[in-house]
Chains A and B, each alone.
Chain A
């Protein structure tokens, strides 16, 4: 294949990467990418046929026009620099592909693709970016190499240097070599990525724009509209559970949690129901107290005083569960955590809470939020709320409906004495007698709870939870609806739960005394069909999600504190190693039978390293290259007082020593000649010559008189 073909292939490969990277930019429509990519494919025809559609002069004019369009786009249409710039670059690239004649044109196309990748970096958080970057690095290595070689080749040939580089230069070995270089380059890039200090003190510091707006969750529950959410597989958050002590393998963590009833990731508690929508009655939120101040602050809910007019938050007791949560940017400022959070740590300027124990961010986040939570899953001990809002059923204006529901409730709780037992009875009743469906039959003009309990007898979580809350309130038990997410899918690769939009759920918290302690208890009246996870994406998606999780954790959200941790880990490991070595040197080594092969292997490795280094470093030194026998000769002569001077050549030295030999045998000259043959002639002496040298050296030892 000719050089021109290689450059053309490289140009189109790079362009494909450019289009792919632009498709990652939030706000670039797929049709735009498809259209420009089609133009690029069309240009291939002209380049293969070596025809010109756009001359260089025309390209310059078009570039100016596209730039004007970019300004108009930025100022009037998109108003986002990244989006407008991405469009500008993409159109420019498509046009450039119609004008690929000189090396300069190829360089311009290469530069445009680089800037497209930059634009994608500023906009996306997708792991696909890394794939594009890796391919771009590989292609860049190849392109830059061949362009450099072509340029040097032309310069080397001087006159009339338009010829093609000879064939056979880019063989299989060359491409294998490029692959190796790419791997090293990527490894180097990653190493540098982790080392480069994260200053983060810029004027325009801002996290990557959010690309996922999740709309399923809200701090209101509308009984008529939540259904579609349950079919949405969009990921809402990932919750990593650090391994439990003594629980191996890590899957055991999930099994244990499952045995405990699974997690309920709590969002907001809703106390007011107007007959169709549950909502939170407005109360002034209070700021959570910071217990640790730093880049990562800790906020505690324990002992937090309730907002003005609210009732005490209650205290959770029991085993603490630690969670690392990566929350996608939702259209809410609520922070999710497993019931019931007691401490939260993250890079927040402040957090606030309400008397329903919901925790709020300072504002709706622009990007993913990473934080750590410690929760206590048990009931929330608190004094009985004096506020009547938790037993309010004033919305039931229809007396017939009220009477029907009250009668049903009385029927269900008959014989139950305590509030807790009443709640259990209602939960069981709903679970047993009602069906779960995402498309319940709707009865126009009837209260949704009334319709659910007496007409359709089917519904989704919001219907079950609302019905239970209303029934509890009618029986005098304080209750509230809680919205949030079920635990979702366990990813055993990374040891975390994938919580999706379809895991959105609502359940009931009822205040009841049990064992003499008044507390908010969690009840979930939705039958298991509702709480069981709906059909999940295929298995391999777990692998992809694992990659996404790690990508987010270690690339997108890699921070200065991570670098500090990394440095501390390194320091402690190194210190540990040094201490171990010191101890090993101080104490008498006691090598056990198990340790012996290890020590032997280490010694062998050290010896191999030493020999290799000696060989590598000894290259070129006189001692290494001078044959042993000549060094012996010099040694013998030196002992006799004949020292070779620095300015003397070996033969001059031999000629100086020769006259002192008693017999007319030119031993020194002969040995010197053999030395020169081996040292400079590259021919080692043979066995017979070696024997002769040995004899001559012996003869010199005995026969040569000392220097006068």
Chain B
């Protein structure tokens, strides 16, 4: 039986105080080399409790009435003190009941970009046979490193054995891999005196799913920064310095129309432009651009003097914007960084491959600074 759970329901304060005292002791013992991890883990609280503003007032008044009862010896004041204490106990039991038996299924959008708000979809089920759950919120568990800003999804009432779907807005403030541990159910129900929640970052890392939500790893792509052609010119290198010039390069078997010319006997009839034949009384054939020649390589010297460098992140976003720019225009795009390389390829699959590389890319220590270049191949 989970003793912490049992004590936390009727005596949240007792649990909180013992947790704080013994948690510190255990931490001290850990520092001295005695069971460094297990002690803390054993005494960690399964619930987090915070006193609300109303709760502080309530406790203050309870304290004053308690003092008055002791001073006067008036049993009716003792009765009021007992009723107020009973309120705290009932509050603990009811908040526990509101959170128990709640199972949550979480659904995130397939692709997540840094700084772009998304909506997380929660399918919430109350597995209790008879008791409804009132007024609780579901939030993403706080991560070990910051970068996730998630609003809570609020449920006013969920009937016994009932099910509902709620969405909550969420913003990932940095790119990279995020390990979402689970969700945290919190409630101020029933009296608004305490904000009680199931804790916390520890469970997020654990293998045991919390409230039925499995830990999830998501890749957050960098933000796609719009590309200005002037800037693109500045970072481009090779014979051509613009898209237009590049398009004048060569004809080939690509898909983009390049030009039209007179039909030469023996040529493939599939390329004849029949509409002009009727208009101009002669046959014209369509010429296409040479696909293989629409190839760029994005070179990213991912140097940075600092681990957390906003300027570096700016360039990562810029790189994502450049890659997107060329992929949208049918280019085969490759990416070369100091830590890895991806060969040029066209299409959206390539876009997300390259964005994932950028998402997971870590800076290489160096004072040169990050640099972005586009090389037309």
Contacts and interface: CB of A to CB of B under 8 A. Distances in A.
Interface of A: 114, 117-118, 120-122, 124-125, 129-130, 133, 137, 140-141, 144-145, 147-149, 151-153, 155-158, 165-166, 169, 173, 177, 181, 184-186, 188-193, 196, 198-208, 555-558, 617
A129 B74 CA distance: 13
B86 A206 contact: no
A199 B79 CA distance: 14
Nearest to B190: A145
B73 A122 contact: no
Contact of A148 (B90, B131, B153, B192): B192
A284 B151 CA distance: 83
Given A137-B83, A196-B82, 15 more contacts: A118-B65, A121-B76, A130-B79, A145-B189, A152-B188, A153-B154, A173-B132, A186-B86, A190-B82, A192-B85, A196-B81, A200-B70, A202-B72, A206-B73, A208-B74
Given A145-B189, A149-B189, A201-B70, A556 B85 contact: no
Contact of A189 (B73, B74, B79): B79
A153 B135 contact: yes
A133 B134 CA distance: 26
B73 A185 contact: no
Given A145-B190, A147-B192, A208 B76 contact: yes
Contacts of B79: 121, 130, 133, 189, 193, 555
B17 interface: no
A626 to B, nearest CB: 16
Contacts of A114: 61
B373 interface: no
B86 A192 contact: yes
A185 B90 contact: yes
A199 B90 CA distance: 26
Nearest to A206: B72
Given A148-B135, A148-B189, A555 B75 contact: yes
Given A145-B189, A204-B71, A558-B75, A181 B82 contact: no
B70 A189 contact: no
Most B-side CB within 10 Å, residue of A148, A155, A158, A169: A148
A484 B157 CA distance: 65
B188 A118 contact: no
B73 A205 contact: yes
Contacts of A144: 190-192
Contacts of A166: 156
Nearest to A117: B80
A107 to B, nearest CB: 8
Interface of B: 1, 61, 65, 68, 70-83, 85-87, 89-90, 94, 131-132, 134-135, 137, 151-154, 156-157, 188-192
Contact of A122 (B76, B89, B153): B76
26 contacts: A114-B61, A124-B76, A144-B192, A145-B190, A148-B189, A148-B192, A149-B189, A151-B188, A156-B137, A156-B154, A169-B156, A181-B94, A185-B86, A185-B87, A185-B90, A188-B82, A189-B79, A189-B86, A192-B82, A196-B82, A200-B73, A202-B70, A202-B72, A204-B71, A556-B76, A557-B75
A196 B83 CA distance: 11
Nearest to B81: A196
B76 A129 contact: yes
Question: Which 9 pairs between the two chains have the least Cβ-Cβ distance?
Answer: A156-B154, A202-B71, A188-B86, A148-B192, A121-B76, A192-B82, A193-B82, A189-B83, A144-B191
Given A156-B152, A205-B73, A148 B83 contact: no
B289 to A, nearest CB: 49
Given A144-B191, A185-B90, A617-B1, A133 B72 contact: no
B152 A185 contact: no
B87 to A, nearest CB: 7
Contacts of A196: 78, 81-82
Nearest to B77: A121
Contacts of B152: 156
Contact of A149 (B71, B94, B131, B134): B134
A169 B191 CA distance: 16
A466 to B, nearest CB: 44
A190 B131 CA distance: 26
B124 to A, nearest CB: 13
Contacts of B90: 141, 181, 184-185, 188
Contacts of B131: 177
A173 B131 CA distance: 10
A127 to B, nearest CB: 11
A149 B74 contact: no
A556 B73 CA distance: 10
Given A133-B83, A147-B192, A202-B71, A193 B135 contact: no
Contacts of A185: 83, 86-87, 90
Contact of A121 (B80, B85, B134): B80
Nearest to A114: B61
A141 B90 CA distance: 10
B70 A199 contact: yes
A147 to B, nearest CB: 7
Nearest to B136: A152
Contacts of B188: 148, 151-152
B80 A148 contact: no
Contacts of A141: 90, 190-191
Contacts of B132: 173
Contacts of B75: 193, 555-558
B135 A118 contact: no
A121 B81 CA distance: 11
A184 B10 CA distance: 12
Contacts of B134: 145, 149
Contact of A205 (B65, B71, B82, B85): B71
B87 A205 contact: no
B74 A122 contact: yes
A510 B28 CA distance: 85
B65 to A, nearest CB: 7
Contacts of B77: 118, 121-122
A133 to B, nearest CB: 7
A165 B156 CA distance: 9
Contacts of B135: 148-149, 152-153
Nearest to B159: A173
A615 to B, nearest CB: 13
A279 to B, nearest CB: 37
Most A-side CB within 10 Å, residue of B77, B79, B90: B79
Nearest to A199: B70
A121 B65 CA distance: 11
Contacts of B1: 617
A149 B158 CA distance: 13
A165 B153 CA distance: 16
B12 to A, nearest CB: 14
Contacts of A202: 70-73
A181 B89 CA distance: 11
Contacts of B70: 199-202
Contact of B156 (A124, A130, A153): A153
Contacts of B191: 141, 144-145, 148
A143 to B, nearest CB: 9
Contacts of B94: 181
Contacts of A181: 90, 94, 190
Nearest to B134: A149
Nearest to B189: A148
B282 to A, nearest CB: 65
A205 B67 CA distance: 11
Nearest to A143: B191
Most A-side CB within 10 Å, residue of B78, B83, B87: B83
A109 to B, nearest CB: 15
Nearest to B151: A158
B72 A204 contact: yes
A696 to B, nearest CB: 30
A623 to B, nearest CB: 16
A156 B72 CA distance: 45
B179 to A, nearest CB: 18
